[in-house]
Amino acid sequence: MKSLMEKYHREYPQFGFLQHKGYPTKAHKAAIRKYDCCPIHRQSFKGVKEYL
């Protein structure tokens, strides 16, 4: 069985979910700035909310 993060990585490869597992790394923040948020991002989270 594939993990949830593997599923999300297949759906949204630009965010690199396999590398950081959803934690706010510099690369993840850069991807949010470049590609905007995707539906799985928690919009109430400070690191995401600032880009909405």
Residue pLDDT, tens place only, 1-52: 578 889 999 999 999 888 877 677 888 889 999 999 999 888 888 777 777 7
Cα separation, 31 vs 1, whole angstroms: 27
Supply the pLDDT for residue 9: 92
pLDDT per position as a tens digit, 15-24: 988 887 767 7
Supply the pLDDT for residue 12: 95
Contact predicate 10/21, CB 8 Å? no
Supply the pLDDT for residue 18: 87
Domain extents in the chain: 4-49
